Structure formats: structure tokens, C-alpha cells
Structure 1
């Protein structure tokens, strides 16, 4: 084992889309765990849209990453040294240990992963935060009923692709919105969505949604925001539920967009809009993971991973994810299992 720990730190706060120069690859000695701590070697790193918000110092629900600090992110890794009574050497674990090859933890927020259930990378995707986000956001807030129409933006992403499949499991008609023909084909041919369209080639979102949702929209799961979401509101049904999970179209704007004022539709249709954070459901994670694992095992829930190689390529992969280049979950493979 080398004595060098390579890390990706925040070099500067981005203006607009992040650039590779906003990150810095640094080297430091591998840390030594003290009593009550573990040393974890990262195997996979999760790249997620929320990390863009952590690069900004604007007020938010979580503390921003400071300049020179290791970028925040969840990893799956192997315990190399344990001074902690609840972990042993060789355990596979997941936790928010950052963009680095090795990390020391006191075990807070670190969970053990059973490598016999599924590939360990799924602990960062379908059997991790994205899967649980889809599960609780759709089922607890969206409350889909059989026969209802569910529209998902960002439908080919890590969360959206799972949302659509759960909606199908629950007997709904599912319409996906994604960027690019490859993604639309993925939704229709591999995930079983009833309809989908490419927002990059469609000129009139409202007209296209009306065509694909002739009975209106009962549940809208929003990962994107912006003009796509503006086009949904005129089509919502009475008692519709709009779930706000992400606003990725807004994360890299240099100036805020001005959009239509859509709140009147909530009055007309007696509808509800609600945002959420997955951490609100921490006490119920086990419930979600058990159900998601069962659906994966029985083939009801499919998943796709885009995997970059090497910690040094994390910034480029992250920027690509923000620009929609990936299908499903974007990961970086840091080391061999």
C-alpha cells in the first residue's frame, strides 16, 4: 500500500458551470486512525448534483465546502485498519468521506454494506441515496395511485430513472423528460416508460406534454426546474402533487432566470408542491433499502452506472454529469475492490 493519499480539493468557487481549474489534485500522507476510528480505502466515489451547491457559499441547507477543503461526497470503500469496536478490517462500508483515496472516520454516518446482496457500487445508487430519494419522494410526497399519470424530469438520471420505474410498479402511466435520443431510447426500451421526449429537440414543451398526457398530470417529480417545470403547471389535475427534488437547470446560472408565475394553478387545481431532503427520512432508510433490494433482486428495478476511472478524473466526470452526459448513476472508480 502506497503512503500517499490523493485528494480533490476545492480550488475556487465556480461562476456558472464548474471548470476543471476550480478543483485541485493534492497529495498528503495516508492518515493513521486513532482509538475509536477506522481507515477506509475508497473503491467508488459518488458524483451528485447537490455537490454543485456545496461549491457555492450562498446560504443553503448544508455548510459549503471551503476553499482548500476536500470536496464532499459519498464513497464505498474497504476498512483497512480498525480501532473501532463496531468495524473490522475488510468490512465494506459507505459514508460521506469525500473525494479522496483514503479517509479516517469515527464511524459517524458510516454504514456497513453486504457485498453478497448486489455489486457494492449500488450502495451509491439504486441501493443508496438516489434510490431512497426516489422511493420516499415519490411514495411519501407524490402518493401515486394506479392509473394516474406521473411525469418525471431528469428521467434518465440516477434518481429520475428509479422514480419512473417505481411509478410503473405502482400501476401508473409514466412520461419521462430527458436530454438526447440515447436517453429517450433508454427510458422507453429498457426501463419501460410509456412515453418520453427529448427536451433538446422539442420546441414547445407544453404542447408536447399535452400530447403525451391527454388525461393531464397527477404527479410531477421535478429534478430540473426552469422552463420544463413551467410547462407542467398548466396541465396538472385537481389534487395533483408536485415533488421538488432538484433544480439542476438553475444550479449553474450566472444570473437568475425570470419565469412565468405559476402559483395560480395551485389554487385552480387545489394542488400541492413540496420539496424534501433525503435526510428527513433517516429513521426509515432500512424500510426503503429492503424494498428497493427486493425489486432489484426480482428484476422489477433496473439500473445503469456510468463509471469514470481514477480520482484525477473526478472533476471532469462531475462537470459532464452536470451537463447531462451520463445515464443513470455517475461514479468514479478509485481503486480495485
Structure 2
């Protein structure tokens, strides 16, 4: 019995495909390992540079700071894996915080309703971004840049350029700041962040949302030809990212015990940098939640450590900008080496 060339080539092709998949997995694991090693080195450096760095109170402060940026990064991980980008997450978070103030202070809603309303409002922002990108065909950079400016303006208009406090809901601050360890200090907001890490990891690795996100980011045209409604799933993914933005807005307002209508710009860059540092490619198709969390911790440790050793604010911005440049450059190197 003779063997045809096609009978030989099919197993060979399958084996080569499996080999490429294993190689990509090894590269992703190596990237996460390198990111984690970088985190340990940064922690070691600041621990030696200042005796005030490696203390319980400061470590809790780092986790608290990483919670807000990390929450934004979790949501935008899905968007970046599809090959998109979302520049509106920073000011969108501020707008969701302002809407929390509107719901609780101006309209007198109970806390649970105000929190749900703010999270859903974040989903609405993401939905609009998804429609602009998928239905109108706007480039993600332009669509979300416009939303960034709209959100920043609406925050000032709705709040009247002044902070909104929560005099009728003093317990609102507990969402972020209440310690869940009796006699210790472990904020509830950090626990919420950990829960959302698990939720995001399950969504990305165990559900069709994650599977389709990777597929769209790897080859959008082939995914569309396979019969998948790419437009609809892009809208779903941007909306999902918006829900994380809404929750980040609630946590930020709770942390400050007020809704601050200013600020937010720059947080999107820190969140995107955290995602890229963790191994997610800006060109789409690759990424992980664990890597994103490591990246968020790196950004939080860097910012906190520079402040601890009394580096001026302007030089802190320079350092963060350099980290973003390095993260993007390393992403480019990864893509070149992988041949994609």
C-alpha cells in the first residue's frame, strides 16, 4: 500500500501547527516570568533605597493604588486582544464616579442601586465605543479619543466643576476602604479587585468571549469568513470593558469619599502600559489576565517607590513615560521574533 503526499503532509501540517501553538504558549509564559522577575527587582530596589517602602501600610497602599489602575487594565485587556484600543477608560472612570455621586447624592438612590447604576453607565460608554468602532467603522484610536474628551467634558458639566460628596451615605467609603480583616488592614476594594481578576481570567480562558477575542485579534478577516458576527462581538467586548471602567469609577469615588470631576487623563496610558508589560500584544491575538495583573503591580510599585524616595512629580511622569516606551518596544520585538 502506497502513501500519497497529501496523507503525509496533513499530519505534518497538524504537528507543525501544534508546535507553533506550544511555542507561542512558552513565549507567553516566558514574558510573564520576565515581568514577574522585573516586579521583584523593582521591589528589591525600592526596599533597599528606603526603609519606609517595605512596610505593611505601604504595601497596602500599593495594592490599593493598583486596584483602580488594575481594574481599568482588566477590561482593556479584552479590547487590546481584539487588536483595538480604548483611550477613554481614564476619563470614563471619572465620569462613572461623577454619575455615582449623581445617583447617590442628587437623586437619593440607595448605595446598591447607585453602584449598579454607575457600573451599567460604564457599560453604556463601552457600548457607544463598540458601536462607533464596529458599526460606523471609526478607527478605535479616533473613536475612543473622542469619547475620552466627551467624558472629560461631561464630568465637569454634570458636577458643575466641583466635587460631589456623599453626606447621606457615609458608608459608601467602606466599599473601598473597609478592612475585611479584624484588627488588620486589608481593604475591601482590594478583595473586590481579586474577585474581578478571577472573573476576567475565567471569561478570557474559559468562555466564548475570550475565544472570540483571540480569534478576532489573530485574524479578523478569517474570523468573519468563518461565519462569526465580528461586529456584534466587538460591541460586546467593548461593553464588557466599559463595565470594568464603571466599577473602577465606583471604587475610585469610594476611595476618595467624593466624586472628583477633574483628572482621569493619563490613567488610560498606565492601564495600557500594564497590559502590554504583562505580555498582551498591541496588534492583538495574544494576552493574559495574569500578565496584566503583574503589569498593574509594576506600575503601582514604580509610582509608589518613586514617591517614597522623594523623586519630583515631573520626573515620576518621565519615568512612567519611559516605561510605556520600553513596553511598546518590547512588544514590537516579540512580534518580529514570532514572525507575525
Q: TM-score, normalised by structure 2?
A: 0.24
Task: Give 1 or 2: higher helix fraction.
Answer: 2
Task: Give 1 or 2: higher strand fraction.
Answer: 1
Which structure carries more relative contact order (alpha carbon 8 Å, separation 6+)?
Answer: 2
Task: Determine which structure has more spread, i.e. the larger CA radius of gyration.
Answer: 2
